[in-house]
Amino acid sequence: MTEQLAAIELEERGSKGRYVIRAPNGDEAEMTFTRIGEHQLIIDHTEVPDSFRGQGAGLRLVTRAVEDARAAGKKIIPLCPFAAAQFRRHPEWADVLKS
């Protein structure tokens, strides 16, 4: 894997979606979510293959979800343990955290 990670892509189908980073070798780092109504989403799962480890891929995925939620006026429920840990580490994301 190169030092420069690819752009994050957003894929959506109905109420489900995912943010994904694709490596040239076909590996994918992803964070999946489920929309709850128009104003909330649940981060369900984050998976980062070993080929992405140590490059901040997981954090980039959660950060993108936070930025998109903020821009759309949505709240996030981080059920995924990784995402929940990132929210604890980033108090500046409190405005999009569903309390």
Range of the domain at 34: 9-96
Q: Would residue 1 count as lying in a domain?
A: no
Cβ partners under 8 Å of residue 96, min gap 6: 66, 69, 70, 74, 75, 76
Q: Would residue 85 count as lying in a domain?
A: yes
Q: Would residue 3 count as lying in a domain?
A: no
Q: Would residue 2 count as lying in a domain?
A: no
Q: Would residue 4 count as lying in a domain?
A: no
End-to-end CA distance of the chain: 38
pTM for this prediction: 0.92
Please tell me the distance from the alpha carbon of residue 87 to that of residue 80, in angstroms, as a whole number: 11
Residue 84 belongs to domain with CATH number: 3.40.630.30
**Residue keyed to tokens 């293959």:** 49
pLDDT digits (tens, 9 = 90+) for 2-60: 457 789 999 999 999 999 999 988 999 999 999 999 999 999 999 999 999 899 999 99
6 and 22 Cβ atoms separated by less than 8 Å: yes
Q: Would residue 83 count as lying in a domain?
A: yes
Q: Would residue 60 count as lying in a domain?
A: yes
What total of structural domains would you count in the chain? 1
pLDDT at 1: 39
pLDDT digits (tens, 9 = 90+) for 61-97: 999 999 999 999 999 999 999 999 999 999 999 999 9
